[in-house]
Structure 1
């Protein structure tokens, strides 16, 4: 299978190139970078520290998508949304790990999914997706009498908050409680905010150092709390999930899928 990487010169891109090559999961057919990137023209294997692969980072979006069976994208929201249009044009399956989409950007991805298979997830790790499922179960069982707070920590370079994973968790809780997530979400508190309203789902985002990713969901009521959590210590877990998703989605019909589909965890219950 021919797999291309959007953002091939970044931290996640280099990890993906290395793991695809060393794991025998397929062939790295191309690497997309923006026109001003210092990685442009460099060999992807050299960038990943595994020796030359004979494939250079390129800014030619159309050529990259035309050559690949599937493209994995961990870049920035605007670039990813444009890449989705290129995927649809080329008929290439698309794996989206980018977070922080605004409605217009998400609409482009949704439109592409009418033509090609798109796997989109705020987090690719197995552990996190299990946490999402457990969060849904616990929130449904406890109901609105328990307050829900989502706390996440990431490295200083992360550009969006709350994280895509935090939003996955909050939305899972809202769905289980029969709530409109956007109507009850509170994205940070500062100053005189007044008392907490019943049914709110609060978010707190911490940024600093090189933290890969930590997430907790706190359920609190009078005299007791339940805390569910996940800690990522190496970004390779996200790369491994993305590669698994790429292998899974490459031959799927047009539509939008998530990691619950990939992992076979979806149920009607």
Structure 2
């Protein structure tokens, strides 16, 4: 049985991760971490996620014996994630990380930690999205160089980073297939452009509204035809189940930085 600790357990994604852990036959909730100032601190986990047979209460990190946890899962914000990452390294606990919006410096710290512990880092833990990453690379390699490539993404109003980490992962996959440097070809705004777009660029468009869980479309358009590859998520459980799957795969792996493509055997 894989004993999982979930950070940010009071949030929407945190609760989905707890539910996914509970529902997985090979996993169990070992810890549900919140801040001591949280309204959830000290109360029973079960009623919050709609089950009755869980004894754990929401706890603060410093209160929980780390030997009770096999793998940690973190979908919190970058600042908090780095604190949790340091804890994982100090206690030699594998970690699954879905935090997005990392700066280059923050990602470098994650890479350094992966020299000590095994980490699965992915901007999106959906099986469908990871299949989409393979499909867009096939399209980029197959279609002519005269193709226009654009990426559209939509999320709920509370989503902070834009474009989303998943949209960037799609663009990076396309750039890799085309032999481009993503940083050179990515275009995030055109509102003051007065020239026609180039075919040697990847444009990003963003929508933030309501409670949209996540939608991503890669457009490959030429004169006379257009290919659209789309993924729509209707529930956070899609990502949570993928993260729990990654946690099961990660247990007993050697130190290193892995991604969901490794977990699914796409590499």
Q: Is the shorter-chain TM-score for this pair beyond 0.5, marking a shared fold? A: yes
Whether 1:185 aligns to 2:202 is: no
Distance in 2 between the 1:62 and 1:118 partners?
23
Q: How many residues align?
A: 266
Q: Contact 1:85/1:108 (CA < 8 Å) preserved in 2?
A: no
Query: Which runs of 5 or more structure 2 residues have no equivalent in the other structure?
Result: none
Equivalent in the alignment of 1:158: 159
Q: Under a length normalisation based on structure 2, what TM-score does the superposition of the two structures give?
A: 0.94
Whether 1:231 aligns to 2:232 is: yes
After superposition, the C-alpha distances for 1:15-71 in whole angstroms (9 at most, x for unaligned) are 221222233332211112234322222222222121362222223258464431101
Higher mean alpha-carbon deviation, 226-235 vs 24-33, is at 24-33
Distance in 2 between the 1:26 and 1:63 partners?
18
Matches within 5 A, 1:75-94: 75-94=76-95
SS at match of 1:144: coil
Matches within 5 A, 1:107-256: 107-256=108-257
After superposition, the C-alpha distances for 1:141-169 in whole angstroms (9 at most, x for unaligned) are 22532121010011111111111111111
SS at match of 2:56: coil
Distance in 1 between the 2:253 and 2:63 partners?
21
Q: Contact 2:130/2:261 (CA < 8 Å) preserved in 1?
A: yes
Runs of 4+ in 1 over 4 A off after TM superposition: none
Change (3 A) 1:256 1:125: same
Query: Which runs of 5 or more structure 1 residues have no equivalent in the other structure?
Result: none
Distance in 2 between the 1:192 and 1:62 partners?
55
After superposition, the C-alpha distances for 1:108-144 in whole angstroms (9 at most, x for unaligned) are 2111100111001111111110000010111112253
Q: Contact 1:100/1:160 (CA < 8 Å) preserved in 2?
A: yes
Q: Contact 2:149/2:220 (CA < 8 Å) preserved in 1?
A: yes
Higher mean alpha-carbon deviation, 34-43 vs 201-210, is at 34-43
